[in-house]
Chains A and B, each alone.
Chain A
Amino acid sequence: MTETEIEAKVLELVADQLGLARAEVSRESDFDKLGDSLDKTELMMAFEDAFDVSIPDETAAGVRTIGDAVALIREHIAAKQAEV
């Protein structure tokens, strides 16, 4: 999965879960501005489901923007593939 594909999927999930138009979210969007901590927690769970990865809470705490999330998911996918 390429970074562009990951980003597209993440943007789609964020827009859907927060009831926003796609144009309202971008790589630079800040989770704290998009919603509260509960929204962010729910999104992290959605990312785990969608990409079949497990993101530890400590790591998730450092994610500030959608771009951060995309990078983190990419790392986790790569690490998983390396294991296989």
Chain B
Amino acid sequence: MSKIQRTITLRRVVVTGMGALTDIGLSAPATWAAMKEGKNGVDTITAFHMPEDWPVRFAGQVKGWDPAPLIDFKEQKRMDRFAMMAIGAADEAARDSGFDFKSGDPYRHGVMIGSGVGGILSTEEAHGKLLQGGVRKVSPFTVPRLMVNAAAGQVSIRFNLRGPNCATATACASSGHAIGTAYHAIQRGDADVVLAGGSEAAVGQLCIGTFAAMKALSTRNDTPTIASRPFDKDRDGFVLAEGAAVLVLEDLEHAKARGAHIYAELLGYGVCGDAYHIAAPDEHGSGAFMAMTFALRDAQLNATDVDYINAHGTSTPLGDAAEVSSVKRLFGDHAYKLCMSSTKSMTGHGLGAAGGIESIAAIMAVTENIVPPTINLDNPSEGFDLNFVAKTAQERPVRIALNNTFGFGGHNVSLCFGQFED
């Protein structure tokens, strides 16, 4: 056998479509418009009964979205809400891209859709039936609904995507890894067009109860609309939220050949692991530091090129401090010239959907030269002296933006988006 030789020319990857369902907007444009206005999506839970003695009784809920026009009754039975929302976001992204997924070679079209906890509402429902009525009362649709990869599978069926097909499950970094994995597949030439993002529909008693048990959630039951307050000295935990976001990532030449509208270029993907604690960063934010470092190296950029960081900024005491510390160390003096906001102040924390939703914020920031705000930021913590875009959006040149996502388990992702220049 002759010695294996490989030379791969990496291709450029651009964003040609976006779709989203969030608690502040039922489409990507509506979500972006709400972010620019500083709209809050968090409120008292209405989707189900929340006992009065629960420590947390509020969340970010996607309200007023009806899957029926897209997904018929029979198909709905096979899908958890998180998979249906993924189809909703993917459908919008596909239409927005103008690409006909029925055209061309389906083995060149892929999907990467992550989720933190998958079909946890279906898991909860099935377990209730199991305890009440025994195993014969459990719905045969339970497994297809609860699988964390169900969204990727269902979206592939919907759009006949037969190329790379995978679901990432790295907690709150799931979308970041999905988008990065799709980027690698297109760069290498394994696919030309990939639907990539994440979906989460975890607002139920099991998820709220278990995150509350960790003391990870804000307990501001009396003032839920100001509970998500990243970087503020009175932050007390994150706010769970539903959401889905899907990007159409495409090989640049493929996009140009069909005359596609290009929003931005995905320039870099940096990943690393903490190998430290299952649910906390180290105080210096070493993981965030290295993920951003690797994203910039991949993008062949300097730290001084970065104009905007869409922070992970979940509004937890430890997490925000570690991220701010990492940004100060990595960017030095430039940390005071760039701006960093957390759109989770508006949407709450969409877990596995967060990186998708927030990539849209980063992409639109470079598209429109507008930075979305960190609302509810009344008094930054001591030493938090960066431009966090408090309260209102800022118009300023944004050529390069980073989107950070970090997950329990110590999974760190930083994505680098840039204005498209041919």
Hey, which chain B residues are within 8 Å of A37, CB to CB? 140
A16 to chain B, nearest CB (A): 9
Q: What per-residue 1/0 map shows which CB atoms of A17-57 lie under 8 Å from chain B?
A: 01100000000000000010111011001001000000000
Contact of B78 among A19, A38, A48 (CB under 8 A): A38
Are B144 and A38 touching (Cβ within 8 A)?
A: yes
Hey, which chain A residues are within 8 Å of B78, CB to CB? 38
Q: How far is the CA of A37 from the CA of B140 in the complex (A)?
A: 9
Q: How far is the CA of A38 from the CA of B141 in the complex (A)?
A: 7
Residue of A nearest to B142 (CB): A38
Hey, which chain A residues are within 8 Å of B74, CB to CB? 18-19, 35, 39
Residues in B350-386 with C-beta less than 8 Å from chain A: none
> How many A-B contacts are there with CB distance less than 8 Å?
21
Q: How far is the CA of A41 from the CA of B77 in the complex (A)?
A: 13
Q: Does B139 touch A at the CB level, under 8 Å?
A: yes
Hey, which chain B residues are within 8 Å of A38, CB to CB? 78, 140-141, 144
Q: A38-B78, A38-B141 are in contact. Are A45 and B72 (CB under 8 A)?
A: no
Hey, which chain B residues are within 8 Å of A45, CB to CB? 136-137, 139-140
A6 to chain B, nearest CB (A): 21
Q: What per-residue 1/0 map shows which CB atoms of A51-75 lie under 8 Å from chain B?
A: 0000000000000000000000000
Are B137 and A42 touching (Cβ within 8 A)?
A: no
Q: How large is the interface on A (under 10, 10 to 19, 20 to 34, 35 or more residues)?
A: 10 to 19
Hey, which chain A residues are within 8 Å of B48, CB to CB? none
Hey, which chain B residues are within 8 Å of A48, CB to CB? 136
Are A19 and B141 touching (Cβ within 8 A)?
A: no
Hey, which chain A residues are within 8 Å of B137, CB to CB? 45
Are A19 and B73 touching (Cβ within 8 A)?
A: yes
Q: How far is the CA of A41 from the CA of B72 in the complex (A)?
A: 20
Hey, which chain A residues are within 8 Å of B72, CB to CB? 19
Most buried by B among A37, A38, A39: A38
Residue of B nearest to A19 (CB): B73
B211 to chain A, nearest CB (A): 31
Residue of B nearest to A17 (CB): B77
Residues in B30-64 with C-beta less than 8 Å from chain A: none
A19 to chain B, nearest CB (A): 3
Residue of B nearest to A38 (CB): B140
Q: How far is the CA of A41 from the CA of B142 in the complex (A)?
A: 12
Hey, which chain A residues are within 8 Å of B73, CB to CB? 19
Q: How far is the CA of A2 from the CA of B68 in the complex (A)?
A: 37
B151 to chain A, nearest CB (A): 18
Q: How far is the CA of A38 from the CA of B144 in the complex (A)?
A: 10
Q: How far is the CA of A39 from the CA of B72 in the complex (A)?
A: 14
Hey, which chain B residues are within 8 Å of A19, CB to CB? 72-74
Hey, which chain A residues are within 8 Å of B140, CB to CB? 37-38, 41-42, 45
Are A42 and B136 touching (Cβ within 8 A)?
A: no
Residue of B nearest to A43 (CB): B140
Q: How far is the CA of A37 from the CA of B72 in the complex (A)?
A: 18
Residue of A nearest to B139 (CB): A42
A12 to chain B, nearest CB (A): 15
Spell out A's residues near B (CB within 8 Å): 18-19, 35, 37-39, 41-42, 45, 48
Spell out B's residues near A (CB within 8 Å): 72-74, 77-78, 136-137, 139-141, 144
8 nearest A-B residue pairs (beta carbon): A19-B73, A41-B140, A38-B140, A19-B74, A42-B140, A38-B141, A18-B74, A19-B72
Q: List 19 A-B contacts (CB under 8 A).
A: A18-B74, A19-B72, A19-B73, A19-B74, A35-B74, A37-B140, A38-B78, A38-B140, A38-B141, A39-B74, A42-B77, A42-B139, A42-B140, A42-B141, A45-B136, A45-B137, A45-B139, A45-B140, A48-B136
